[in-house]
Amino acid sequence: MRLSSFFALALIVAGFGGPRASAAAPVEIVRIWSGYRTSSSFDRIGDYLHRGDHSGGDTVRRSQPGAIAGYYFLVRLKNPGEAVPAATFDLQIIAPTSPDPKHYTFKADVPAGSKAVDLGLTGPDWPDAAAKAVAWQLTVHASDGTELARQQSFLWSMPAAKR
């Protein structure tokens, strides 16, 4: 092998001059926990010291910003790439009161690394503390509409009943 061929091969192996991946690393939904939370479950010591609403470092978004109690989806994200500003969390849910899915949209940044996002259906959007979601699907989109991640419950994938 000639010396110039050796250097060309070394540059390709090192990643210089070779093909580069242009796609960003995918965002992963690691896990989703859902359940009803009372407003007192959000109380933090800072609230009692008059330091305002403290979320414990998590991002909290609510369908009715003035209401706290409701049915929440705690979404654990893993983002090995760069931060994604102004991401959209599209939540479709079938509640026990109707077979028709309802759609909710939340905006939040997806920072690099691991992060939890709490998405709450609050106030009149989820008035019954004993009710549980029948089925759901969550899709995370970048600000340009690119789908970053998707996860759904088992029942969401069930075929529609024949009528």
pLDDT band at 158 (very low <50, low <70, confident <90, very high): confident
Lowest mean pLDDT among 38-42, 106-110, 137-141: 38-42
Residue 72 burial (C-beta neighbours within 10 Å; 0-12, 13-18, 19+):
buried
pLDDT band at 66 (very low <50, low <70, confident <90, very high): very high
- pLDDT value at 47 more than 60: no
Average pLDDT of span 35-59: 73
Q: What is the pLDDT of residue 50?
A: 59
Where is average pLDDT lowest: 92-96, 102-106, 147-151, 156-160?
Answer: 156-160
Instruction: Name the pLDDT band for 163 (thresholds 50, 70, 90).
Output: very low
pLDDT of 127 reads: 87
Q: State the fold for domain 23-157.
A: Immunoglobulin-like (2.60.40)
- C-alpha pair distances (Å), 61 with each of 70, 105, 117, 121, 162: 11, 10, 8, 9, 37
- What percentage of the chain carries pLDDT values higher than 90? 67
pLDDT at 150: 97
Identify residue 157 by its one-letter amino acid code: S
**What are the Cα distances from residue 123, in Å, to 16, 64, 72, 141, 156?**
55, 6, 12, 25, 24
pLDDT at 160: 65
What are residue 112's DSSP bridge partners? Answer: none
C-alpha angle with apex 18: 12 to 24, nearest 5 degrees? 125
Q: How far apart are CA 99 and CA 96, in angstroms?
A: 7
